[in-house]
Amino acid sequence: METIKIQINHKEPLRVRKLATVLYDEIGEEYDLILEEIEEYFTFLSCTLLLNETFISVIEFTLPALDTREVSVKGIVFSFLQSLENSNGVVSITKMNDSILQEMALGYYKQIAELEMDMRNVLTYIITYSSKTINDDFFKSFGINKSEKLDAKNIKDNYENGLFYIYFNHYSSFTQPQKLKAEKIAELLQEPNISSFEQLKTKLQDRGLKEDRHIDFIASIKEKLNPIEKMRNAIMHIRNISDKAIQDFTMATQDNGTNKGIKTLISDFWINEKAIRSQSTFMKLANIEIQKILESVIEESGFKVEYEEDNDYLESSYDDIESLQLDIISYVEDDINVFNYAITSEDYQILNIMITEFFNEQ
């Protein structure tokens, strides 16, 4: 069942029978409906005389569930409205609300909300990776105007960042910082830590992102954002979603042959980043934890471990360093390796050397 609300500007009285007759001509015979039954679909919510001697009627009508074939329910509604608009005495018709559009819009809204949050996830990682702070100054360096004023306390309290407050099309703006004006360059030259052209060059280069692969990713999503934003605007303003808008949105979000949609681009980004950074990430995490454990070891009649955190892998004491070493390795490969990095034989050798060196330093 679908409910549609329309507003009709008309010069002559409108009757339920007239509305029902127009709809009957569209679907009556095909769905074996009688005119009196269709009349019950319509309810006049109001009818008002305007200053120009025309009327505004607000009408709600409900369509039952129809076994549509070649024409969709949306198509039936539009055909009915077109026929009614051509009736004598009708000046204009505006569709104010309908459950068909609501249901469609909610489906696309969910997709867009997930995509937008996924993009923020990637961009927050990329910007933080480059040791940048997401704030007004950072946005200004890329020529980004915010949609809302940043409230640092509110952002912190809600576990957000400034990316939640910029315009949708600005998500692709982080490829290249804006060129600095002469007065800004002059200010940089006055900074005490800049005493040579090379230092100035480094300072200018540091305004942007550090990794080419991150810049390439942002560039790859740029052309995808426009059709997504158009769909987003249609939904936010509760406008009709055209077939072209749907087609363009699908092309932007889903794969089409060799043309990857934004969902795949985001997925590929994380796969690539994991392949590049997993080994160094795991080894650094292991290094920190091994050092903490060995700093807690006291040599007295064996090796006593006074590790502060609960740890099912470690005993309170060991007779020899080799047993402690085996338990530490088990611990870091199971509990520290939270992202399931495939530890290599070379990694194990490095871990053993690391444990030995840290232990000898104590």
pLDDT at 27: 86
Q: Which CATH architecture has domain 2-98?
A: 2-Layer Sandwich (3.30)
pLDDT digits (tens, 9 = 90+) for 120-174: 999 999 999 999 999 988 898 888 877 778 888 999 999 999 999 999 989 999 9
CB atoms within 10 A of CB 98: 22
Confidence (pLDDT) at 204: 58
Q: What is the pLDDT of residues 194-245, one digit of tens each?
A: 656 555 555 556 678 889 999 999 999 998 999 999 999 999 888 888 889 9
Q: How many angstroms separate the CA atoms of 17 and 41, rounded?
A: 11
d(CA 185, CA 60): 64
Report pLDDT for 202. Answer: 59
Residue carrying structure tokens 């507003």: 7
Its sign, for the CA torsion 210, 212, 213, 219, is positive
User: What are the residues facing 305 on neighbouring strands?
Assistant: 297
Average pLDDT over residues 283-301: 87
Which pLDDT value is given to residue 181?
A: 61
For residue range 25-45, list pLDDT tens digits in order: 988 888 888 999 999 999 999
Confidence at 304, pLDDT banded by 50, 70, 90 = confident
The mean-pLDDT minimum among 62-66, 179-183, 188-192, 269-273 falls in: 188-192
- Domain residue spans in the chain? 2-98, 104-268, 277-361
∠ CA 173-178-221, rounded to 5° = 15
Please name every residue paired with 59 in a beta bridge, in sequence order, or none if there are none. Answer: 6, 44
Please tell me the distance from the alpha carbon of residue 143 to that of residue 16, in angstroms, as a whole number: 57
- The pLDDT, as a whole number, for residue 287 is 94
pLDDT at 69: 67
- 98 strand-pairing partners: 4
Mean pLDDT for 178-204 is 59
**Mean pLDDT confidence for 13-27:** 92
Residue % of the chain over a pLDDT of 70: 91
Residue 230 Cα to chain centre, angstroms: 15
Q: Which residue has the tokens 């329309």?
A: 6
Q: What is the mean pLDDT of the chain?
A: 88
What is the model's pLDDT at position 317? 86
- Say if residue 53's pLDDT is above 90: yes
Q: What is the pLDDT of residue 30?
A: 84
Buried (b) or exposed (e) across 250-282, using 16+ Cβ within 10 A? eebbeeeeeebbbbebbeebeeebeeeebbeeb
Residues 87, 22 contacting (CB under 8 angstroms): yes
Instruction: Return the DSSP state at 333.
Output: I
pLDDT at 328: 92
Give pLDDT, residue 102: 87
| H runs (alpha helix) in the chain | 16-27, 35-39, 73-85, 99-129, 136-141, 152-157, 182-189, 197-205, 212-236, 243-253, 262-295, 321-331, 345-361
d(CA 117, CA 115) in angstroms, rounded, equals 5
**H or E stretch at 63:** strand 55-63
Q: Which residue has the higher pLDDT, 48 or 1?
A: 48
Lowest mean pLDDT among 3-17, 95-109, 306-320: 306-320
Chain mean position to CA 144: 18
Nearest to 238 by CA among 100, 88, 34: 100
CA distance 360 to 362: 6
Using alpha carbons, list the distances in angstroms from residue 35 to 28, 190, 216, 279: 7, 85, 62, 73
Q: Give me the pLDDT at residue 65, please.
A: 81
Q: Summarize the confidence of residues 312-327 as an average pLDDT.
A: 88
| CA dist., res. 133 & res. 126, Å (int) | 11
- Give the pLDDT confidence score for residue 106 in this predicted structure: 92
